[in-house]
Structure 1
């Protein structure tokens, strides 16, 4: 079974300018979703589940907003790093980690307990994305809740392989239903917007708007962002504005989608 820890390089919203830029679109949408859930639930502190949450790149900032976060991850090392990070940020009492994955999610984290479930960088690495998403949906409170999905985008893989001069691999990623560029591809599944929406519907959830993530940021040298005046701010604006446009979602490195009951989106 592949590890469901968040992939290396997944962005911590507070881990540096280039990493923050990669996570900016997701973090802004996530913060808005939390605010809407607070208003809908009538509670200032929500119960949040982060499956495959690793060392807490999103869990710790969410806890910093006052919410209670449970992180499920198969890696003991990641959970140890999560505990240390939460302590350093002063949110240890609001963050708990438990070893597990989507196969035993309800056994280790409970069923129908959470206002918001984060499923970032998980579905592309599991054997059965549909079964994993059904498990994630089952963790939501029956009265309403929201799932935040972040998955690898097929178009981003095609573009990156082509720009690297690996044209046969780019064509393979373009035509393969799973978006894989070859046998050596470490990512078992990538998603188009249509495939992701279908997966969400099959899990009994209602898909909200899709956003493209890492459209330009993986292509722009970090040295340019770090050294050119105003480059980071300008690129951040460009990334945010392109995120909602289907043409750019089609070539995004990742796709983000909020799903749940209609009134929760």
Structure 2
């Protein structure tokens, strides 16, 4: 599925509102928490070189840069990258964040062969036709033993989301066997996947130590969105989400799945 960068740039204001909403904040908080579990393994605690593919306006990158790491954000949408650069300057992180306008599937040699310590591939798979090819391309810049993180909308969550939020069991029944979702914000047709489908692909591509996490196991099924803006309620919700991100069975029906893995054979 070829993507039009203009669709992403034109939705910038709506996207940033989403990021600031409770569900957006949870998405980034949980992803960061899951990454932090693994970032210091074998690094000696020093700064890491991180590649954030399809990183948009730097939602993941800025959090990791604030931890002292050096992050390269790659994206096809110019306005998104401009926003990432502006946010890095605003937060005093410009020396740790660099942005590159590029198609993930046509990375320049200095990126494709860059020997990065960490590669993020968050919310890209739902936009592509060739998932194994995209994952192979994403893994190429990662050094042996480096950390890989992939995130996508969880197909298992679609029937639940429709039944609970739209109160439409008939549509939920159809969604049980569907794999498509219309994203109104970015005016795009998405293909949904499951962690159970992607994990074997990572194994075939030479990944090991694959870990499965759920992003927003409860938030999206709580229908009182207004209450989520209450600080005390949000704090309780965040603690619940953090407690269940790696806990079965909750990650299997979370709105998003996140998989982390190491590149290369076990030592």
Equivalent residue number for residue 36 of structure 2: 31
- Cα deviation, 1:197-231, whole Å, max 9, x if unaligned, reads 1221232212522111112112333321223x732
Q: Are 2:122 and 1:120 equivalent residues in the alignment?
A: yes
Equivalents in 2 of 1:48, 1:169: separation in Å? 41
SS across alignment from 2:261: strand
CA contact (8 A) 1:249 1:255 kept: yes
CA contact (8 A) 1:173 1:181 kept: no
CA contact (8 A) 1:51 1:101 kept: no
CA contact (8 A) 1:49 1:72 kept: yes
Equivalents in 1 of 2:30, 2:126: separation in Å? 20
1:195 and 1:18, CA in 2 relative to 1: closer, same or farther beyond 3 A?
closer
Q: Are 2:220 and 1:215 equivalent residues in the alignment?
A: no
SS across alignment from 1:244: coil
Length-normalised TM-score, structure 2: 0.84
1:56 deviates by 0.3
Equivalent residue number for residue 26 of structure 2: 21
1:203 and 1:102, CA in 2 relative to 1: closer, same or farther beyond 3 A?
farther
Equivalents in 2 of 1:35, 1:11: separation in Å? 30
Length-normalised TM-score, structure 1: 0.84
Q: Are 2:203 and 1:201 equivalent residues in the alignment?
A: yes
1:110 deviates by 2.9
In the alignment, structure 1 segments of 5+ residues that lack a partner are none
1:206 and 1:263, CA in 2 relative to 1: closer, same or farther beyond 3 A?
closer
CA contact (8 A) 1:63 1:94 kept: yes
- Aligned-residue CA RMSD (Å): 2.9
Determine which structure has the larger strand proportion and give its number: 2
In the alignment, structure 2 segments of 5+ residues that lack a partner are none
Equivalent residue number for residue 160 of structure 2: 159
The count of residues paired between Structure 1 and Structure 2 equals 255
- Cα deviation, 1:6-39, whole Å, max 9, x if unaligned, reads 9947975xx4655323332211111232222xxx
- Which of residues 86, 89, 100 is equivalent to 2:88? 86
- Which of residues 102, 105, 124 is equivalent to 1:103? 105
1:171 and 1:180, CA in 2 relative to 1: closer, same or farther beyond 3 A?
farther
Equivalents in 1 of 2:173, 2:112: separation in Å? 42
Equivalent residue number for residue 229 of structure 2: 226
- Which of residues 253, 256, 264 is equivalent to 1:254? 256
CA contact (8 A) 1:208 1:259 kept: yes
SS across alignment from 1:246: coil
- Cα deviation, 1:19-74, whole Å, max 9, x if unaligned, reads 323332211111232222xxx13461211000000000011121111111111100
Equivalent residue number for residue 190 of structure 1: 192
1:96 deviates by 0.9
- Which of residues 214, 239, 251 is equivalent to 1:237? 239
CA contact (8 A) 2:104 2:138 kept: yes
Equivalents in 1 of 2:17, 2:265: separation in Å? 29
